[in-house]
Amino acid sequence: MSGEGNPGGPGQNAGAPRPGPGDRDPGPSATLRSPRAWTVLVVAVLLSLGADLASKAAAFRWVAGRPVEVSRRQVLEQARVDPRHIGLLVPRHRPVVVVPGLLELTLVLNPGAVFGVGPGARWFFVGFTALALGFGVWMFARWTGPRDRLAHAALGMLIGGGLGNLYDRLVYACVRDFLHPLPRLEWPGQLRVFGGREVWPYVSNVADLLLLIGIGLLLVYLWRRDPAAVARAGPARASGG
């Protein structure tokens, strides 16, 4: 007579913890059924993609003092000769100093992946990016809950940044870069890292920046989620004997 036969009775799940505001709904498709989760993801993707493509277009229009048109045909021809020299298709120009010693803008054509890794392997990186985007959508559906806004925004940045560079690879056969942080800053003494003296020799773009921010936010999300998950699992194990 303690309410065992009544699904809504006070005796049901008496020892189980009540769902908190951060708990994920049961079932792998709970996030897929959440309009708010989709809104956060789609808005983050669109804002990230728009920021990346708009900043690339603006940089290649203004940084060199005149518009620089990137020709897919010329890029492919140069790639057949030596993909490392694709940058010769960009006219020589003075970098635009945004913050002295901290950030400059200079135009670079990148035939590889993030930070110029793997020049000449364009189709490999196209396929890899497509798989990574699919994995991001899978993580959204299976790895996050409807209320995990931080994770949804982070995944949106990752997907939007990936789409921005994928667009460049498909349209221009290379990636347009223009952000050069810490220009000409060298390691102290005679220290060399990977054979170079510069602390940050890479020129990147907004998509790369969004990828780094998205990864950082996902790490913060995991750090905040795991203690809460452990705390909720303790009472559940105790109630199960």
Which residues are identified as catalytic?
Answer: 177, 208
Residues in Cβ contact with 153 at an 8 Å cutoff, skipping those fewer than 6 apart: 40, 41, 44, 217
Which residues does residue 196 pair with via DSSP β-bridges, in sequence order?
193
3-state helix, strand and coil shares in percent for the chain, rounded to the nearest 5: 55, 10, 35
Inter-axis angle of helices 149-172 and 72-81, to 10 degrees? 80
- How far is residue 55's CA from residue 51's CA, in Å, rounded to a whole number? 6
Residue 39 neighbours by CB distance under 10 Å: 12
